[in-house]
Protein backbone atom coordinates (compact mmCIF):
# COMPACT_ATOMS: atom_id res chain seq x y z
CA UNK A 1 0.00 0.00 0.00
CA UNK A 2 1.09 3.55 -0.67
CA UNK A 3 2.09 5.53 2.45
CA UNK A 4 -0.58 8.05 3.46
CA UNK A 5 0.37 11.73 3.37
CA UNK A 6 -1.42 14.76 4.77
CA UNK A 7 -0.82 17.88 2.67
CA UNK A 8 -1.07 21.06 4.74
CA UNK A 9 -0.91 23.56 1.88
CA UNK A 10 -1.81 24.01 -1.76
CA UNK A 11 1.02 22.86 -4.00
CA UNK A 12 1.59 23.17 -7.75
CA UNK A 13 -0.15 20.52 -9.84
CA UNK A 14 3.19 19.11 -10.94
CA UNK A 15 4.10 18.24 -7.34
CA UNK A 16 0.58 17.06 -6.47
CA UNK A 17 0.57 14.68 -9.44
CA UNK A 18 4.02 13.37 -8.60
CA UNK A 19 3.07 12.76 -4.98
CA UNK A 20 -0.15 10.95 -5.95
CA UNK A 21 1.82 8.50 -8.09
CA UNK A 22 3.73 7.30 -5.04
CA UNK A 23 1.55 8.18 -2.03
CA UNK A 24 -2.05 8.23 -0.84
CA UNK A 25 -2.51 12.01 -0.56
CA UNK A 26 -5.11 13.97 1.38
CA UNK A 27 -5.39 17.78 1.49
CA UNK A 28 -5.98 18.92 5.06
CA UNK A 29 -8.16 21.86 4.04
CA UNK A 30 -10.53 19.53 2.17
CA UNK A 31 -11.15 17.22 5.12
CA UNK A 32 -13.97 17.56 7.60
CA UNK A 33 -13.46 16.77 11.27
CA UNK A 34 -14.86 13.25 10.93
CA UNK A 35 -12.70 12.56 7.88
CA UNK A 36 -9.60 13.83 9.67
CA UNK A 37 -10.32 11.61 12.66
CA UNK A 38 -10.85 8.57 10.46
CA UNK A 39 -7.62 9.22 8.56
CA UNK A 40 -5.48 10.11 11.56
CA UNK A 41 -4.21 6.65 12.46
CA UNK A 42 -2.93 5.96 8.93
CA UNK A 43 -1.07 9.22 8.22
CA UNK A 44 2.65 8.46 7.97
CA UNK A 45 3.86 11.74 6.46
CA UNK A 46 3.07 15.44 6.36
CA UNK A 47 3.97 17.74 3.50
CA UNK A 48 4.14 21.36 4.63
CA UNK A 49 5.51 24.74 3.67
CA UNK A 50 7.56 27.20 5.68
CA UNK A 51 4.30 28.93 6.65
CA UNK A 52 2.55 25.77 7.87
CA UNK A 53 1.73 25.11 11.50
CA UNK A 54 2.39 21.62 12.84
CA UNK A 55 1.49 21.78 16.49
CA UNK A 56 2.03 19.33 19.32
CA UNK A 57 -1.73 18.72 19.24
CA UNK A 58 -1.69 17.79 15.55
CA UNK A 59 1.31 15.49 16.06
CA UNK A 60 -0.50 13.80 18.95
CA UNK A 61 -3.49 13.11 16.68
CA UNK A 62 -1.29 11.25 14.18
CA UNK A 63 0.20 8.24 16.00
CA UNK A 64 1.68 6.72 12.80
CA UNK A 65 3.44 9.93 11.72
CA UNK A 66 7.06 9.35 10.69
CA UNK A 67 8.14 12.35 8.64
CA UNK A 68 7.33 16.03 8.12
CA UNK A 69 8.72 17.21 4.79
CA UNK A 70 8.81 21.01 4.49
CA UNK A 71 8.91 22.69 1.10
CA UNK A 72 10.85 25.74 2.22
CA UNK A 73 13.74 26.83 4.36
CA UNK A 74 11.98 27.89 7.55
CA UNK A 75 10.33 25.48 9.96
CA UNK A 76 9.45 27.70 12.92
CA UNK A 77 5.78 26.68 12.63
CA UNK A 78 6.67 23.08 13.51
CA UNK A 79 6.85 21.96 17.11
CA UNK A 80 10.31 20.42 16.89
CA UNK A 81 10.31 19.29 20.52
CA UNK A 82 7.16 17.24 19.91
CA UNK A 83 8.68 15.85 16.71
CA UNK A 84 11.81 14.74 18.56
CA UNK A 85 9.81 13.17 21.38
CA UNK A 86 7.88 11.11 18.85
CA UNK A 87 10.89 10.17 16.69
CA UNK A 88 9.50 12.08 13.71
CA UNK A 89 11.93 13.04 10.96
CA UNK A 90 11.72 16.71 9.90
CA UNK A 91 13.22 17.77 6.58
CA UNK A 92 13.34 21.05 4.67
CA UNK A 93 14.87 22.53 1.50
CA UNK A 94 17.69 24.88 2.54
CA UNK A 95 20.17 26.63 0.29
CA UNK A 96 18.20 26.38 -2.94
CA UNK A 97 16.61 29.84 -2.74
CA UNK A 98 19.58 31.77 -1.34
CA UNK A 99 20.56 33.63 -4.51
CA UNK A 100 16.99 34.46 -5.49
CA UNK A 101 16.18 35.81 -2.03
CA UNK A 102 19.36 37.89 -1.99
CA UNK A 103 18.55 39.30 -5.43
CA UNK A 104 15.05 40.17 -4.28
CA UNK A 105 16.36 41.79 -1.12
CA UNK A 106 18.38 44.25 -3.15
CA UNK A 107 15.43 44.84 -5.49
CA UNK A 108 13.19 45.58 -2.51
CA UNK A 109 15.79 47.85 -0.95
CA UNK A 110 16.26 49.82 -4.18
CA UNK A 111 12.52 50.00 -4.82
CA UNK A 112 11.92 51.27 -1.29
CA UNK A 113 14.82 53.69 -0.89
CA UNK A 114 14.66 55.11 -4.41
CA UNK A 115 10.83 55.29 -4.24
CA UNK A 116 10.27 53.42 -7.50
CA UNK A 117 6.57 52.79 -6.88
CA UNK A 118 6.06 56.42 -5.91
CA UNK A 119 7.69 57.44 -9.18
CA UNK A 120 5.43 55.11 -11.12
CA UNK A 121 2.32 56.58 -9.46
CA UNK A 122 3.68 60.09 -10.04
CA UNK A 123 3.71 59.52 -13.80
CA UNK A 124 0.40 57.65 -13.96
CA UNK A 125 -1.37 60.41 -12.04
CA UNK A 126 -0.10 63.03 -14.51
CA UNK A 127 1.96 64.87 -11.89
CA UNK A 128 5.16 64.96 -13.97
CA UNK A 129 3.72 67.59 -16.32
CA UNK A 130 3.36 69.99 -13.41
CA UNK A 131 6.30 69.24 -11.10
CA UNK A 132 9.29 67.05 -10.39
CA UNK A 133 9.27 63.99 -8.15
CA UNK A 134 10.90 64.58 -4.74
CA UNK A 135 14.54 63.62 -4.30
CA UNK A 136 15.38 60.19 -2.86
CA UNK A 137 18.28 58.83 -0.78
CA UNK A 138 21.39 57.49 -2.48
CA UNK A 139 21.93 53.76 -2.07
CA UNK A 140 25.48 53.46 -3.41
CA UNK A 141 28.03 53.90 -0.64
CA UNK A 142 25.44 53.56 2.11
CA UNK A 143 25.71 51.63 5.35
CA UNK A 144 23.92 48.29 5.52
CA UNK A 145 23.17 46.41 8.73
CA UNK A 146 22.26 42.73 8.43
CA UNK A 147 20.39 40.90 11.17
CA UNK A 148 21.43 37.26 10.76
CA UNK A 149 24.55 36.53 8.73
CA UNK A 150 23.64 33.04 7.53
CA UNK A 151 23.56 31.89 3.91
CA UNK A 152 21.11 34.57 2.83
CA UNK A 153 22.69 37.32 4.92
CA UNK A 154 26.08 36.60 3.37
CA UNK A 155 24.63 36.60 -0.14
CA UNK A 156 22.97 39.96 0.54
CA UNK A 157 26.26 41.35 1.88
CA UNK A 158 28.06 40.29 -1.30
CA UNK A 159 25.55 42.18 -3.43
CA UNK A 160 25.65 45.21 -1.14
CA UNK A 161 29.43 45.36 -1.51
CA UNK A 162 28.96 45.71 -5.27
CA UNK A 163 26.98 48.87 -4.42
CA UNK A 164 29.97 50.20 -2.49
CA UNK A 165 28.18 49.72 0.83
CA UNK A 166 29.82 49.15 4.18
CA UNK A 167 28.52 46.09 6.02
CA UNK A 168 27.79 45.54 9.70
CA UNK A 169 25.87 42.66 11.22
CA UNK A 170 24.54 41.03 14.34
CA UNK A 171 23.40 37.53 15.20
CA UNK A 172 23.93 34.78 17.71
CA UNK A 173 27.74 34.92 17.44
CA UNK A 174 30.37 36.86 15.49
CA UNK A 175 31.73 35.13 12.38
CA UNK A 176 35.48 34.54 12.29
CA UNK A 177 35.60 34.25 8.50
CA UNK A 178 34.25 37.72 7.58
CA UNK A 179 35.66 41.19 7.95
CA UNK A 180 32.30 42.93 8.36
CA UNK A 181 31.79 44.98 11.50
CA UNK A 182 30.13 43.05 14.34
CA UNK A 183 27.53 44.56 16.66
CA UNK A 184 26.52 42.60 19.73
CA UNK A 185 22.90 43.73 19.66
CA UNK A 186 20.37 44.85 17.06
CA UNK A 187 19.74 48.24 18.67
CA UNK A 188 23.37 49.35 18.35
CA UNK A 189 23.41 47.96 14.80
CA UNK A 190 20.33 49.98 13.84
CA UNK A 191 21.86 53.15 15.26
CA UNK A 192 24.90 52.84 12.99
CA UNK A 193 23.37 52.06 9.58
CA UNK A 194 21.16 53.52 6.87
CA UNK A 195 19.58 50.25 5.73
CA UNK A 196 18.61 47.52 8.18
CA UNK A 197 17.99 44.17 6.47
CA UNK A 198 16.39 41.26 8.34
CA UNK A 199 17.77 37.85 7.33
CA UNK A 200 17.42 36.03 10.66
CA UNK A 201 15.47 32.86 11.34
CA UNK A 202 12.07 33.01 12.97
CA UNK A 203 10.96 31.50 16.25
CA UNK A 204 10.77 32.52 19.91
CA UNK A 205 14.33 33.85 20.06
CA UNK A 206 13.70 36.49 17.41
CA UNK A 207 10.00 37.21 17.94
CA UNK A 208 9.46 41.00 18.02
CA UNK A 209 13.21 41.59 17.82
CA UNK A 210 12.71 44.70 15.69
CA UNK A 211 10.95 46.78 18.32
CA UNK A 212 9.96 50.42 18.62
CA UNK A 213 13.31 51.08 20.30
CA UNK A 214 15.23 49.53 17.41
CA UNK A 215 13.23 51.53 14.86
CA UNK A 216 13.89 54.72 16.80
CA UNK A 217 17.62 54.00 16.62
CA UNK A 218 17.37 53.41 12.85
CA UNK A 219 16.07 56.94 12.60
CA UNK A 220 14.23 59.22 10.23
CA UNK A 221 16.59 58.55 7.29
CA UNK A 222 16.62 54.79 7.85
CA UNK A 223 15.04 52.06 5.74
CA UNK A 224 13.97 48.63 7.01
CA UNK A 225 13.83 45.60 4.69
CA UNK A 226 12.41 42.27 5.88
CA UNK A 227 12.67 39.13 3.72
CA UNK A 228 12.94 36.71 6.66
CA UNK A 229 9.89 36.21 8.90
CA UNK A 230 7.09 38.62 9.73
CA UNK A 231 7.23 37.65 13.40
CA UNK A 232 10.69 39.21 13.77
CA UNK A 233 9.23 42.71 13.40
CA UNK A 234 6.75 44.25 15.84
CA UNK A 235 4.19 45.20 13.19
CA UNK A 236 2.33 47.66 15.40
CA UNK A 237 5.57 49.46 16.23
CA UNK A 238 6.52 49.49 12.54
CA UNK A 239 3.19 51.03 11.52
CA UNK A 240 3.68 53.75 14.12
CA UNK A 241 7.28 54.36 13.02
CA UNK A 242 6.26 54.67 9.36
CA UNK A 243 3.24 56.83 10.13
CA UNK A 244 5.22 59.19 12.38
CA UNK A 245 8.24 59.17 10.05
CA UNK A 246 10.39 57.77 12.84
CA UNK A 247 11.96 55.85 9.94
CA UNK A 248 11.93 56.86 6.31
CA UNK A 249 10.48 53.73 4.72
CA UNK A 250 10.21 49.95 4.78
CA UNK A 251 10.17 47.11 2.25
CA UNK A 252 8.35 43.98 3.43
CA UNK A 253 8.05 40.59 1.78
CA UNK A 254 6.81 38.84 4.94
CA UNK A 255 4.13 39.53 7.53
CA UNK A 256 3.00 38.24 10.91
CA UNK A 257 -0.29 36.69 9.76
CA UNK A 258 0.14 35.92 6.07
CA UNK A 259 -1.70 36.30 3.80
CA UNK A 260 -3.50 38.90 5.92
CA UNK A 261 -1.70 42.24 5.90
CA UNK A 262 -2.68 44.95 8.40
CA UNK A 263 -4.91 47.63 6.87
CA UNK A 264 -2.72 50.21 8.57
CA UNK A 265 0.24 49.07 6.46
CA UNK A 266 -1.84 49.11 3.28
CA UNK A 267 -2.76 52.74 3.94
CA UNK A 268 0.85 53.95 4.13
CA UNK A 269 2.70 55.36 1.13
CA UNK A 270 6.22 54.87 2.53
CA UNK A 271 6.16 51.08 2.57
CA UNK A 272 6.59 48.61 -0.32
CA UNK A 273 4.67 45.36 0.16
CA UNK A 274 5.24 42.10 -1.71
CA UNK A 275 3.50 38.71 -1.21
CA UNK A 276 6.31 36.53 0.25
CA UNK A 277 7.74 36.10 -3.24
CA UNK A 278 11.50 36.46 -2.70
CA UNK A 279 12.17 32.79 -3.40
CA UNK A 280 9.40 32.37 -5.98
CA UNK A 281 11.33 31.81 -9.19
CA UNK A 282 10.62 28.90 -11.50
CA UNK A 283 14.08 27.41 -10.99
CA UNK A 284 14.02 27.61 -7.20
CA UNK A 285 10.47 26.31 -6.75
CA UNK A 286 11.18 23.34 -9.03
CA UNK A 287 14.36 22.49 -7.11
CA UNK A 288 12.49 22.77 -3.79
CA UNK A 289 9.69 20.50 -5.03
CA UNK A 290 12.23 17.95 -6.23
CA UNK A 291 14.02 17.93 -2.89
CA UNK A 292 10.76 17.69 -0.93
CA UNK A 293 9.75 14.69 -2.99
CA UNK A 294 13.21 13.09 -2.78
CA UNK A 295 13.24 13.40 1.02
CA UNK A 296 9.89 11.61 1.24
CA UNK A 297 10.82 8.80 -1.13
CA UNK A 298 14.19 8.30 0.57
CA UNK A 299 12.57 8.05 3.98
CA UNK A 300 9.94 5.51 2.93
CA UNK A 301 12.59 3.50 1.09
CA UNK A 302 14.50 3.20 4.35
CA UNK A 303 17.30 5.47 3.13
CA UNK A 304 18.82 8.55 4.72
CA UNK A 305 16.97 11.77 3.90
CA UNK A 306 18.95 14.43 2.09
CA UNK A 307 18.30 17.55 4.20
CA UNK A 308 17.11 16.93 7.72
CA UNK A 309 16.54 19.54 10.37
CA UNK A 310 19.30 19.10 12.94
CA UNK A 311 18.48 16.49 15.61
CA UNK A 312 15.04 15.89 14.12
CA UNK A 313 15.57 12.59 12.41
CA UNK A 314 15.79 9.35 14.40
Contacts of 195 (CB under 8 A, 6+ apart): 109, 113, 139, 142, 143, 144, 145, 165, 222, 223, 225
Is 299 marked active-site?
A: no
**Which entry of 44, 92, 154, 276 is annotated as an active-site residue?**
276
CA distances in angstroms from 234 to 80, 90, 186, 210, 230, listed in the order given: 24, 29, 14, 6, 8
175 burial (CB, 10 Å; 0-12 / 13-18 / 19+) is: middle
Report how far residue 261's alpha carbon sits from residue 280's, in angstroms, rounded to the nearest whole number.
Answer: 19
β pairing state of 249-252 and 195-198? unpaired
**Which entry of 51, 229, 235, 299 is annotated as an active-site residue?**
229
**Which entry of 133, 236, 245, 258 is annotated as an active-site residue?**
258
Under 8 Å between Cβ of 249 and 223: yes
* DSSP conformational letter for 30: G
Phi, psi dihedral angles at 267 (to 5 degrees): -85, -10
Under 8 Å between Cβ of 147 and 196: yes
List the one residue out of 35, 64, 34, 45 whose CA is nearest residue 6: 45
Is 276 marked active-site?
A: yes
Is 229 marked active-site?
A: yes
List the one residue out of 274, 251, 231, 278 whose CA is nearest residue 113: 251
Report how far residue 75's alpha carbon sits from residue 83's, in angstroms, rounded to the nearest whole number.
Answer: 12
Q: Where are the beta strands (DSSP E) in 12-134?
A: 24-27, 43-49, 67-71, 89-91
Sheet holding 4-7, edge to edge: 24-27, 4-7, 43-49, 67-71, 89-91
Under 8 Å between Cβ of 235 and 265: yes
Kindly list the catalytic residues.
229, 258, 276
Amino acid sequence: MKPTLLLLSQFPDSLNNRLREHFDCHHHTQLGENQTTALATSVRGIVATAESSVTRELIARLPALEIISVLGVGYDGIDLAAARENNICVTHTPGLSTEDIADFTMALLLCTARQVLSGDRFIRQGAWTASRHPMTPRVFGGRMGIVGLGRIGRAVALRAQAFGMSIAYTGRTPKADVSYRWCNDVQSLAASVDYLVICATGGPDTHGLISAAVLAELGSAGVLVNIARGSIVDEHALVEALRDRTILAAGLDVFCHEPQVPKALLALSNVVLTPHMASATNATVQAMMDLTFDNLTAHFAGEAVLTQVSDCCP
